[in-house]
Amino acid sequence: MHSLLAFLRLLYNRRTLITAMAARELRVQYAGSSLGLLWTLIHPVVMITVFWFVFSIGFKAKPLNDVPFVVWLTAGLAPWYIFSDIISGSTGIIVAHAHLVKKTLFSSQLLPLVKMLSSLATHGIFMVVLLVLLIFQRMPISLYYLQALYYLFCLLTLSLGIAWGLAALNVFIRDVAQLVAVALQIAFWVTPIFWDISMMTPKVQRLLKLNPAYYIVQGYRESFITFQPFWSHPLHTAYYWLIALSTLVGGAYIFRKLKPQFPDVL
């Protein structure tokens, strides 16, 4: 409890620094490009268009329960995009900012939060695209949209734990970044983002639902499409938070134990 309060106090005291570094992270990411931050819009739109074309036009994917496939797909891609961006970007962030980490006064545990904050900008663009699609397809508008904020909080909690652990391990084992890239590809295909989990047998469905990413993806669809409250599946919610909080504590522990050795290794 004391460690949590200390971390929250650190966040509050360094809030200006975190915001400034996140803004710089975005600028550096698109530095030198003619379109600049406009790429934060282009990337998600191109991704959605490609998947929509392949599965709707190529494979003739039909609407699911009268929901246009492009809406159903975008609602699932939105949380996955920010999740994968945070994890992949945070894995090498300690190494990338070695010049800061070597400074004894710099709190290196803030670096994954910087990446998380910069990823939220792209997620905001994704949400705008989703809302435009919902309006364009004349789908009902509901206060359940606000429930997505709960699922975003769930996602950020899980992501932070994973990011802390991987960022620390990558300092000592540089192959971690490559393994993460492979793991994210596998996780993308086993998470029901562009395919419906109901096509699987009940036994396989139970196994797939153990994936924490399923809870988030399904939650976004329940918030924007089916309007189902998160408390309607209490056991799955309890399971998710058990995994998320365990991951957060585990990631924080790994980072704290390895942090003193960062300057020597870097």
Mean pLDDT across 128-151: 90
What pTM was computed for the model? 0.88
Contact of 163 with 117, CB cutoff 8 Å: no
User: Residue 117: which of 239, 262, 17 has the closest Cα?
Assistant: 17
Copy the structure tokens of residue 67: 């929901």
Question: What rounded mean pLDDT belongs to the chain?
Answer: 85
Distance CA 193, CA 92 (A): 26
Copy the structure tokens of residue 51: 């998947």
Model confidence pLDDT, tens digit, residues 63-76? 566 788 888 888 99
Mean pLDDT across 90-117: 83
The 3-state DSSP class for residue 67 equals strand
Give the least confident one: 6-10, 186-190, 216-220, 242-246: 6-10
Copy the structure tokens of residue 154: 């769930």
User: pLDDT band at residue 32, thresholds of 50, 70 and 90?
Assistant: low
The answer to whether the Cα torsion of 79, 82, 86, 88 is positive or negative is: positive
What pLDDT score does 121 carry? 83
User: Residue 251: which of 178, 169, 172 has the closest Cα?
Assistant: 169
Please calculate the CA angle 94-99-102 and round it to the nearest 5 degrees. 80
- Percent of the chain at pLDDT above 70? 87
In sequence order, which residues have a C-beta less than 8 Å from that of residue 71 and are 6 or more positions away? 130, 133, 134, 137, 139, 224, 225
Model confidence pLDDT, tens digit, residues 162-179? 999 999 999 998 889 899
Q: Which phi and psi (to 5°) does residue 78 adopt?
A: -55, -55
Please calculate the CA angle 87-89-92 and round it to the nearest 5 degrees. 105
Q: Which phi and psi (to 5°) does residue 64 adopt?
A: -100, 115
The 3-state DSSP class for residue 64 equals strand
Distance CA 72, CA 62 (A): 11
- Comparing 5 with 230, which gets the higher pLDDT? 230
Report the helix count and the strand count for the chain, using DSSP H and E: 13, 0
The 3-state DSSP class for residue 102 equals coil
What pLDDT score does 12 carry? 73
Distance CA 202, CA 205 (A): 5
What pLDDT score does 4 carry? 64
